[in-house]
A and B are shown apart, each in its own frame.
Chain A
């Protein structure tokens, strides 16, 4: 008497399903070809197209793939790269570049004045969704091809930061043919002129670049000519910090970016590893105070907040060994001046309390100050990374609690976070900006960028606007420096923001990795890098 056994059915159903589903899963080959360097990054770039990306991670990767007209090394000096020489016009409104004649893109097309014009025109085209590159060409009036290897780039008003920006990732040069013809591939396989070219891209996992074998030129940061030493570089996306560090310790990767502070002591004690740090240029980790939203519309309250925040607390915990104290809206590597340092707010909780009292906020029953029956409450706009709340926000909250301010942390994902910043809806976000020129402050404080990127202090001050515009136009370096010093002094005295820490770019490598250099952006360039087992 046959009886159907349900459990046998069940077992075979499961086995069949399992086999079908497991079939595509073949264990990945763990072996690495010699001459391959595997690096671990903390994020996946939104795109690899240098003109479209708003994110620094893109340029970490393509710093060795695309090249620029000029190069700015860690020492801050501008030297020729794709352009042999350049001259600025008398009125300061245009720059004429004489280009190298021996450059080809990775797809074989020639690099020339037409290519340069194409690149810049693309960025300002209203139909193109530009990222950080648009701001790097503010006031762009067009490029004129003078002859095959000469191009004149013009602006409506003199744009002093142009040459510095021309040296940075967002203005790097890509192949016009590739842009016209490769469609969506521009996001995963940008075609540049550098020592490496992109080979593949696996979403959420890694991207690979390989050496250009017939590269003949001498790059500005190197003493020798010719192709790169490494054959292949694999960039892995490993967002989880603990995992990322573990891959370095196990040898699965030979270098990782963004080592968390708590892992540093262990790595520094490991003889097989080496830590390299470089200061990030631009705007430090900073809390922009929304000056339009009470109680932050009162400068006394803003100054009190600056006094109340203990920056050493950051340096003792989450930024231990990975940052320096910040005192100004630009990092010290950008602009360090005694005049600015003098006006910076020190940590002084007593002064903070006194100022708050002066402003009419008196101590309340639960430790929070009140004024006419209202509690002193502030909403801090923070990014929720999904699972781990932002410790920076919590330190701020704790510091301000000490002087009687109740900070509510509004933690949300990026898109609603941006939305709140555009609408000046909270009391301000904690953010940072990478920028190679003090002109970065324009994005931060110019009134035209309220509701955009990145004037999230919602400042509309004509005097400040005038200074920022002047700084853009001024070509004399000494005068320019003076302008930005006064801008910083103004921003500090008016307490438009609370600069927290100057972040360092922290890379950790296995000791067999040598020869990694960094440009002024603190991005690694790998042409001379070698890997010894």
Chain B
């Protein structure tokens, strides 16, 4: 009952609707990439390199003659997957940590908060950079690095929700009635956590995609010939003057994906709990 009206409210929210539509289109592109692509994204065709967008190459061809349109389509797959896995790692690790920390409190909580403070002392992408510097460059390691570097944020978020939920009277009542910890966690605490978690994870998906693309742009992520958007942007850099399309379209792809996530995330926040607005 609640879910139905939730979905309806979400769809009625203008921003969320736009976000959903864009996201839907992107997911469709990603899934259907092999069938939608006019050409093999990896196949080089040196004699038709650097062609501007036109009839033969819809979004132009890059420095090795590869079809930019096909590469952008396949890149959607990669970026969405990377973002999803990174956020899943962050949620999978951050949630239990936050739950335990918030619910049990005491020395454990204090220690965990210290660790989180230390991890958050590395601003922005610095933590992911530090992690990637230890592992070898590669797309899998970028996913891990971005995911791990987001763990403190989710842990803190979950802990905060748990703390506020813990104070509720009905939790005390449940305890007084003899309910055991795990069932209290599941029945009273968890529902409080879900809403902010979903909002943050949706917005976090956008952040993760940006971070992964940034790491690939710096040369620390995907390896050739993978048509990953961040890589494509950096490859196109040398050809900016002569072939602007090589960098422009992947960048557009990244922006649209993150935009969709932001719209959706904002919409979810408005619908689920307007109090969450900063």
Contact = CB atoms under 8 A, between A and B. Distances in A.
Contact of B44 (A246, A385, A394): A394
A372 B108 CA distance: 55
Interface of B is mostly: loop
Contacts, number: 81
Nearest to B243: A262
A386 B217 CA distance: 9
B187 to A, nearest CB: 43
Interface stretch (B45-53, B150-158, B172-180): B45-53
B44 A398 contact: yes
Interface string B229-243: 001001101111111
Given A318-B63, A386-B219, A389-B231, A245 B241 contact: yes
A241 B219 contact: no
A394 B63 CA distance: 11
B43 interface: yes
B219 to A, nearest CB: 5
A266 interface: yes
A388 interface: yes
B224 interface: yes
Contact of B238 (A242, A401, A409): A242
Interface in A325-346: none
A393 B50 contact: no
A408 B225 CA distance: 9
B46 A317 contact: yes
A285 to B, nearest CB: 15
Interface residues of B, number: 27
Interface residues of A, number: 32
A391 B64 contact: yes
B240 A242 contact: yes
B241 A394 contact: no
Interface in B199-258: 217-219, 223-225, 231, 234-235, 237-243
Given A316-B47, A395-B46, A398-B43, A386 B218 contact: yes
Nearest to B230: A387
Q: Which of A316, A386, A411 has the most CB of B within 10 A?
A: A316
A316 B51 CA distance: 13
Contacts of B241: 242, 245-246, 263, 266
B49 A317 contact: yes
A391 B239 CA distance: 12
B47 A394 contact: no
B65 interface: yes
A115 to B, nearest CB: 45
B44 A241 contact: no
Nearest to B216: A387
Given A242-B240, A387-B234, A411 B224 contact: yes
Given A241-B238, A262-B242, A389 B223 contact: yes
Interface in A247-297: 260, 262-263, 266
Interface string A307-330: 000101110111000000000000
A397 interface: yes
B14 to A, nearest CB: 33
A263 B237 CA distance: 13
A384 interface: yes
Contact of B224 (A310, A318, A389): A389
A393 B238 contact: no
A316 B238 contact: no
Interface of A: 241-242, 245-246, 260, 262-263, 266, 310, 312-314, 316-318, 384-389, 391, 393-395, 397-398, 401, 408-409, 411-412
16 contacts: A241-B238, A242-B239, A242-B241, A246-B241, A263-B241, A313-B47, A317-B49, A389-B219, A389-B235, A394-B44, A394-B64, A398-B43, A408-B223, A411-B219, A411-B224, A412-B137
Interface of B: 42-44, 46-47, 49-50, 63-65, 137, 217-219, 223-225, 231, 234-235, 237-243
